[in-house]
Amino acid sequence: MKLADTLSLSLHSLVSARTRSLLIVLAMALGVGAVVVLTALGDGARRYVVGQFASLGTNLVIVLPGRAETTGGFPGAALGQTPRDLTLDDAQAVGQLPDVRRYAPLNVGAAELSSGGRLREVTVLGSNAELLPIRHMELAQGRFIGGAAQIVLGNAIAQDFFPDGRAIGQRVRLGDRRFRVAGVLTTQGESMGFNTDEIVIIPVDDAQALFNTETLFRILVEARSRSAIEPVKAAITHLLKQRHDGEEDVTVITQDAVLETFDRILRALTLGVAGIAAISLAVAGILVMNVMLVAVTQRTAEIGLLKAIGAPAATIRQLFLAEALWLSLAGAALGFMLGHAGSWLIRLAYPVLPAWPPAWAGIAGVATALLTGIVASLLPAARAARLDPVRALSGK
């Protein structure tokens, strides 16, 4: 028998048993759809977290004072002094290293911001103009800090102090010092525990004067490329060790290391979730087997007839396998579409979650459906092929 005839004959018998076929296709489709939707969710979560990290900056290397072995924050906070402070000179030296695209020293403190009778405590970042590109911040109005006594306001703070939206050029007081508003940041919201809407940014010199300190909280360094991250990290460690009289008293961390860990964890999670969804495919497979067994029983006389008019056992087996193939194929295709529609709905409901099903999930879901369908029909097909034609013809 020709393959095309086997396929069309089996399709014909499926179409004749419409309800039965549709239910099986539905069961298959739900299984495949579940795999696609759940992996879309898992992968969406992964992308979301990775995106959050990436929004901190690209190819970022962060230098902090003290050794990382000390747990519970950085030692500077506990002892009042690190063995040797990170200074602006250190930061400038780091900035001279090859493969460093840009750097931003960072000072963090709290101060009272006042203007026009309003007063509130704000988090103050002291840095240079490079902070904007390094941290991927964007300005809603005005420009970034470019000279002394300039201040950039977080979006929520600007709203609080200047509800009319005319913040640029206004004078504000921060602690005991006066600043002129240069720009306002766009709303970015929470980004890894740092709400950029609730901060103000001033030049690092002003910050050091304001907080009366020579010490830096961090140095943010952007490497020229991803591959330059490790050399830059090594070069910074080496340079600061030299500058600090041979003491290795700073910690250099790369965003990549953290990111990779999260990436790995969330990928494993996605796989786990996909595995759970695949169980529903196994259930669908058992359904296929059950329905095929019933079909063999119902069509005993027909199988006997086919044998009587000269169908070899192999042809009977192929006819039933082809039916399973059709069911699985239709179920997988429908499930694939359902899964993508479901993912689309999730993206519609939660725009922050990039719930795109990864390509492997679709392929794996469809392949699993086809495989379970075929495997589940092996037994019924073999049973049909083995039927004794004389007994089958009499309907036994």
Q: Which of 80, 169, 310, 351 binds other proteins (CB under 8 A)?
A: 310
Q: Using the rule CB under 8 A, is 1 a contact of other proteins?
A: yes
Q: Is beta strand 171-174 parallel, antiparallel or unpaired with respect to 150-153?
A: unpaired
CA atoms within 13 A on the CB side of 93: 16
Q: Measuring CA to CA, how many Å separate 161 from each of 117, 119, 154, 233, 260?
A: 9, 9, 11, 41, 40
Q: Which of 7, 13, 215, 224 binds other proteins (CB under 8 A)?
A: 13
Q: Using the rule CB under 8 A, is 108 a contact of other proteins?
A: no
Q: Which of 315, 329, 347, 356 binds other proteins (CB under 8 A)?
A: 315
Residue 224 CA to residue 326 CA, distance in Å, equals: 54
Residue 158 CA to residue 141 CA, distance in Å, equals: 10
Q: Is beta strand 177-185 parallel, antiparallel or unpaired with respect to 190-191?
A: unpaired
Q: Using the rule CB under 8 A, is 383 a contact of other proteins?
A: no
Q: Using the rule CB under 8 A, is 294 a contact of other proteins?
A: no
Q: Using the rule CB under 8 A, is 22 a contact of other proteins?
A: no
In the complex, the smallest distance separating the C-beta of residue 309 from other proteins, rounded to whole angstroms, is: 5
- Nearest alpha-carbon partner for 127 in 192, 219, 249, 239: 219
Q: Find where tokens 């002291």 sit.
A: 126
Q: Using the rule CB under 8 A, is 317 a contact of other proteins?
A: no
Q: Measuring CA to CA, how many Å separate 346 from each of 252, 342, 364?
A: 39, 6, 21
Q: Using the rule CB under 8 A, is 11 a contact of other proteins?
A: no
Q: How many positions of this chain bind other proteins (CB under 8 A)?
A: 24
Torsion angles phi and psi, residue 59, rounded to 5? 50, 45
Q: Using the rule CB under 8 A, is 20 a contact of other proteins?
A: no
Q: Which stretch binds other proteins (CB under 8 A): 39-47, 266-274, 313-321, 359-367?
A: 313-321
Please say whether the dihedral angle defined by the alpha carbons of residues 258, 259, 265 and 266, taken in this order, is positive or negative.
positive
Q: Using the rule CB under 8 A, is 18 a contact of other proteins?
A: no
Q: Which stretch binds other proteins (CB under 8 A): 29-37, 65-73, 303-311, 336-344?
A: 303-311
Task: Please give the helix or strand (H or E) that residue 369 lies within, else none.
Answer: helix 359-386
Q: Which stretch binds other proteins (CB under 8 A): 2-10, 142-150, 173-181, 245-253?
A: 2-10
In the complex, the smallest distance separating the C-beta of residue 380 from other proteins, rounded to whole angstroms, is: 19
Binding region for other proteins (CB under 8 A): 1-2, 5, 9, 12-13, 16, 301-302, 304-315, 389-390, 393
